[in-house]
């Protein structure tokens, strides 16, 4: 597959998720020059964005936002993303949110090396929407099996703050915010239930069955060359792998592809697990083993 360098069909700037200048309440970012990324070390969408930046060799300024202390609910952060989510890209004072839109924007600005092949733009956009639609499913798995069902409880004050925030996106009240609020309210109340795990895992399994057949014919998800789709799915696969999803048994080709990507430094350095998270994951795994509630058992895989 040939990957041309220019992308005339990529979305134009105003079709992407970019805040209008007047919507940016944290005015200091208007003065920032160059590429700045607001991100969190262990956030999957931030990891995806950082791997993309690494592969492109783009220079960027790092602004860590600590999700563990709800820093994303500060007035400062809500002033650049009223959804209270990372990552956020600031490029010469312009504010872009939504990781897949950020990456499409960067692809257009930095076409080499190509990570969105011209002939696959529509396909990639569709598949990236599918990936984004699974974000809450990914959260269900991560929160249940990696962070433990109690560890990421959201402060009521943070939930109320997001509920009351009046920030808009592209001139409109944000319809996505309700999804975030619902997730965290439900999570605070009952954690991630077995039922939620079963449903989320079955969605992933269906997609991995397709990937398994693609990857038995070609090295990367879209062909012979690495693309943004590989980066996006590498991150999900990494999370599922650490959560105990049985790749070896169900999707050996996917496992091979994942390990091949993990061997690349641009990938491995972004998913390095901090000791504290590794300890939380191990403790969760031990408890699950004792209770007979590991992922494969709950999901009957």
Ligand X SMILES: N[C@@H](CCC(=O)N[C@@H](CS)C(=O)NCC(=O)O)C(=O)O
Chain residues binding ligand X by CB under 6 A are 43-45, 67, 72, 85-86, 98-100, 132, 135
Nearer to ligand X, 100 or 237 (CB): 100
Nearer to ligand X, 67 or 295 (CB): 67
The SS3 assignment for 198 reads: helix
DSSP output for 146-172: IS-TTTTPPPHHHHHHHHH---EETTE
Smallest distance, Å, CB 146 to ligand X?
A: 12
Smallest distance, Å, CB 122 to ligand X?
A: 19
Nearer to ligand X, 137 or 288 (CB): 137
- Cβ neighbours of residue 125 closer than 8 Å, sequence gap 6 or more: 104
Q: What is the C-alpha to C-alpha distance for residues 240 and 296, in angstroms, rounded to an integer?
A: 11
Contact 30, 93 (CB under 8 A): yes
Nearer to ligand X, 154 or 260 (CB): 154
Q: Alpha helix (H) ranges present in the chain? A: 44-56, 75-78, 99-109, 121-133, 135-141, 156-164, 177-190, 194-215, 228-243, 247-250, 252-262, 265-268, 275-291, 295-298
Smallest distance, Å, CB 179 to ligand X?
A: 9
Q: What is the C-alpha to C-alpha distance for residues 137 and 198, in angstroms, rounded to an integer?
A: 10
Smallest distance, Å, CB 11 to ligand X?
A: 15
- Residue 151, class by beta-carbon neighbours within 10 Å (0-12 exposed, 13-18 middle, 19+ buried)? middle
Nearer to ligand X, 37 or 67 (CB): 67
- Cβ neighbours of residue 20 closer than 8 Å, sequence gap 6 or more: 170, 171
Smallest distance, Å, CB 121 to ligand X?
A: 18
User: Residue 271, Cα to own-chain centre: how many angstroms?
Assistant: 12
Smallest distance, Å, CB 95 to ligand X?
A: 13
Q: Alpha helix (H) ranges present in 10-66? A: 44-56
Smallest distance, Å, CB 42 to ligand X?
A: 8
Nearer to ligand X, 67 or 222 (CB): 67
**Positive or negative, the Cα torsion across 76, 79, 82, 86?**
negative
Smallest distance, Å, CB 161 to ligand X?
A: 12
């Amino acid at each position: 597959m040939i990957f041309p360098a220019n992308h005339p069909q990529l979305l134009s700037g105003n079709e992407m998720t970019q805040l209008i200048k007047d919507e940016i309440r944290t005015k200091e970012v208007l003065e920032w020059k160059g590429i700045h990324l607001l991100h969190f070390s262990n956030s999957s969408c931030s990891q995806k964005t950082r791997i993309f930046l690494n592969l492109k060799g783009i220079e960027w300024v790092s602004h860590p936002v600590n999700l563990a202390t709800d820093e994303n609910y500060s007035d400062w952060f809500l002033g650049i993303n009223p959804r209270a989510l990372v990552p956020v890209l600031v490029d010469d004072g312009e504010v872009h949110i939504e990781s897949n839109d950020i990456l499409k924007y960067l692809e257009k600005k930095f076409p080499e090396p190509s990570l969105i092949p011209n002939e696959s733009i529509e396909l990639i956009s569709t598949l990236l929407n599918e990936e984004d639609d699974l974000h809450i499913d990914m959260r269900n798995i991560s929160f249940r099996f990696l962070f433990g069902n109690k560890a990421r409880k959201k402060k009521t004050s943070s939930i109320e703050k997001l509920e009351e925030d009046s920030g808009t996106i592209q001139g409109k009240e944000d319809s996505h915010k309700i999804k975030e609020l619902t997730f965290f309210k439900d999570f605070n109340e009952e954690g991630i239930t077995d039922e939620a795990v079963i449903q989320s895992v079955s969605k992933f399994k269906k997609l991995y069955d397709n990937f398994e057949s693609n990857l038995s014919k070609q090295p990367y998800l879209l062909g012979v060359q690495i693309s943004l789709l590989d980066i996006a799915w590498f991150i999900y696969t990494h999370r599922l792998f650490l959560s105990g999803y049985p790749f070896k048994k169900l999707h050996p080709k996917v496992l091979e592809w994942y390990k091949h990507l993990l061997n690349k430094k641009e990938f491995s350095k972004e998913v390095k697990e901090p000791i504290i998270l590794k300890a939380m994951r191990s403790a969760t795994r031990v408890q699950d083993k004792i209770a007979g509630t590991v992922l494969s058992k709950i999901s009957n895989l």
